């Protein structure tokens, strides 16, 4: 049955997710509802974001995919998919791919399929060149995709194409969902959505809103490209029901998620944190680009602040700074210690202006990173206390232990 309006369709979809899935973040229902609508009109846009659903065991990730399978445009849900099947689905069906149990994507080198198909598929021009029946064939990979797993995605370019929804352990009793009992009515809603988006008036309105959408402060480049489809759908619904002010709400959600991702990137990315720490050293000491600084003291400052879980030496720091073309000059010179003695040590001159330009994108998060750091430490300790240790890989365990400062009261649960 075709819904009376886009607004009615969105409210019905959001009600379904609220009824059957426990989502602590209220904005998650809105994103899921708008994404369902976007899958029915993604061909009008140059790019479509992916949804990444992460969370612990039993938090409702598969249930979300079951609902999406009944609501999205030409959906196919799979726990495992071969590379050839992925090529042909994205090229011929051009529907919505729902990938459950995608733990392979949390690996550094996924074993099951080629990432190039998934990475390129967020843009309309995306595709891969393959041999097919003895001839070269260009296979289109564009289309909406939803990935659900526990550990997230290791590949950073692929992560940048995703909008993440985090599920949590259920804290309240939810209504039971059954595909056998409820599937027919949801499929009818999906058919109605397809019929609604086939209307010429609907298509022209979407094209007009897309063409007239202006840039938004805080969303630039790929971030704006990823959110533009959801923003246009929100504008469409606002034209029907102005009181909902969906465009304003989605804009706020988009800028918040983008800002958080940059902040987390600065926290998690070693190179970014290292440069921020080096800049902090110069801010504290007052050295300029004309001064030779004692290399081992700079290294000690970085190690004390970042506490790397590996053996980080002065030579390691020099290679990182050389990579960014920050070391102007270096030589062995005498430095005077605090007790007045002289030591013969390696000295560096660092291009501070270039350093500041390099970290300017993270500059406004200098204070927030420390707050974020403290929040992460508290969360990690709570997770360890709750016995969630077994869900982590060995590498993640070492990383988390290093970040919480190797707590003395911790005992290996194994």
Q: Torsions phi, psi of 384, nearest 5?
A: -65, -40
> What's the pLDDT score for residue 108?
63
Cut 0.75: pTM above it: no
> What's the pLDDT score for residue 53?
92
Going from N- to C-terminal start, the domains of the chain cover: 6-265, 270-361, 364-403
Residues 284, 302: Cα–Cα separation, whole Å: 13
> What's the pLDDT score for residue 139?
78
Residues 30, 45: Cα–Cα separation, whole Å: 20
274 CB-near residues (< 8 Å, 6+ apart): 302, 306, 317, 320
Give, as one character, the DSSP assignment of residue 104: G
What the block records as the tokens of 267 is 């926290």
Q: E strand or H helix at 203, and its extent? A: helix 200-212
Q: Between the ranges 115-129, 132-146, 219-233, 249-263, where is the mean pLDDT highest? A: 219-233
What the block records as the tokens of 90 is 């994205």
> What's the pLDDT score for residue 70?
92
As beta bridge partners, residue 219 has 216
Pick the CATH number of 270-361 from 1.20.1250, 3.30.750, 1.20.58, 1.10.10: 1.10.10
> 77 versus 259: which is more confidently predicted?
77
> What's the pLDDT score for residue 411?
42
Q: What is the dihedral of CA 323, 328, 332, 333, to 10 degrees?
A: -140
CA proximity to 25, closest of 162, 152, 167: 167
Q: Torsions phi, psi of 138, nearest 5?
A: -95, 115
> 394 versus 290: which is more confidently predicted?
290
Digit-coded pLDDT (tens) for 181-190? 888 888 888 8
Digit-coded pLDDT (tens) for 5-21? 889 999 999 999 999 99
Architecture of the domain defined by 6-265: 3-Layer(aba) Sandwich (3.40)
> What's the pLDDT score for residue 109?
66
């Amino acid at each position: 049955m075709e819904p009376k309006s886009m607004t009615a369709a969105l409210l019905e979809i959001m009600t379904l997710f609220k009824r059957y899935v426990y989502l602590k973040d209220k904005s998650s229902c809105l994103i899921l509802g708008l994404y369902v609508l976007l899958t029915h009109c993604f061909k009008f846009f140059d790019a479509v974001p992916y949804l990444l659903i992460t969370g612990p065991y039993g938090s409702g990730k598969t249930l979300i995919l079951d609902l999406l399978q009944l609501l999205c445009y030409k959906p196919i849900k799979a726990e495992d998919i071969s590379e050839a099947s992925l090529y042909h689905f994205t090229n011929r069906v051009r529907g919505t791919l729902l990938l459950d149990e995608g733990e392979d994507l949390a690996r550094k080198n996924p074993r099951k399929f080629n990432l190039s198909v998934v990475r390129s598929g967020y843009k309309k021009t995306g595709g891969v060149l393959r041999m097919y029946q003895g001839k070269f064939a260009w296979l289109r990979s564009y289309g909406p995709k939803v990935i659900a797993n526990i550990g997230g995605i290791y590949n950073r370019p692929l992560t940048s194409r995703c909008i993440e929804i985090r599920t949590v352990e259920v804290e309240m009793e939810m209504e039971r969902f059954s595909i056998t009992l409820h599937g027919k009515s949801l499929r009818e809603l999906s058919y109605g959505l397809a019929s609604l988006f086939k209307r010429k008036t609907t298509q022209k309105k979407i094209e007009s809103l897309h063409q007239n959408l202006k840039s938004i402060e805080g969303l630039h480049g790929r971030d704006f490209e990823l959110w533009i489809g959801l923003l246009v759908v929100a504008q469409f619904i606002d034209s029907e029901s102005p009181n909902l002010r969906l465009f304003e709400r989605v804009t706020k959600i988009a800028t918040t998620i983008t800002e958080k991702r940059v902040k987390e990137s600065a926290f998690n990315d070693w190179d970014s944190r290292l440069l921020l720490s080096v800049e902090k050293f110069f801010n504290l000491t007052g050295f300029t680009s004309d001064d030779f600084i004692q290399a081992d003291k700079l290294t000690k400052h970085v190690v004390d602040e970042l506490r790397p879980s590996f053996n980080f030496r002065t030579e390691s720091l020099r290679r990182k700074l050389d990579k960014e073309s920050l070391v102007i000059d270096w030589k062995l010179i005498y430095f005077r210690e605090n007790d007045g003695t002289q030591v013969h040590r390696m000295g560096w001159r660092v291009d501070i202006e270039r350093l500041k330009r390099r970290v300017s994108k993270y500059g406004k998060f200098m204070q927030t990173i420390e707050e974020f750091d403290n929040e992460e430490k508290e969360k990690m300790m709570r997770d360890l206390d709750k016995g969630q240790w077994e869900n982590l890989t060995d590498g993640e365990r070492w990383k988390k232990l290093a970040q919480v400062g190797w707590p003395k009261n911790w005992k290996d649960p194994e």
